[in-house]
Amino acid sequence: MKISIPVYLLVAALTIYAVRALPMTLIRREIKNPFLRSFLYYVPYVTLAVMTFPSILGATGSLATAAVGFAVGVVLAFFDGNLFRVAIGACVAVYIAELFL
């Protein structure tokens, strides 16, 4: 059975709407539980990391050069935090690693 693109879009739209609308309608008061507050605070960052990490490892021709770029990116992000410098630094590191590995 072949499902058309509009059906995929409808399912995606309903899922996104449910994820955004249900908490707003079901939880009417402020969340005071520290564990739940910290969990909800970090969910976007974890989701972004989970979506990005496999792409990082598959972005180059070899796992070794991808790991070099990832490591340089983590170190630069830890010490600097500027997204543009981290991206440029990781790209330069991968380029240099591709030359030597």
pLDDT digits (tens, 9 = 90+) for 57-98: 888 889 999 999 999 999 999 998 889 999 999 999 999 999
Buried b / exposed e over 17-43, threshold 16 CB at 10 Å, is: eeeeeeeeeeeeeeeeeeeeeeeeeee
What is the C-alpha to C-alpha distance for residues 75 and 72, in angstroms, rounded to an integer?
A: 5
Residue 16 lies in a domain: no
Residue 14: inside a domain: no
Evaluate whether residue 1 is within a structural domain.
Answer: no
Residue 76: per-residue pLDDT: 95
Question: Is residue 15 a part of any domain in this protein?
Answer: no
- Residue 12: inside a domain, yes or no? no
Average pLDDT over residues 39-60: 85
Give the position of tokens 């960052």: 45
94 is a domain residue: yes
Q: Which two tokens stand for residue 59?
A: 């972005």
Domain span at 55:
33-100
Q: List, for residues 32-41, the tens digit of each pLDDT value.
A: 889 988 887 8
Q: Give the global pTM.
A: 0.61
- The per-residue DSSP string of 31-52 comes to ---HHHHHHHHHHHHHHHHHHH
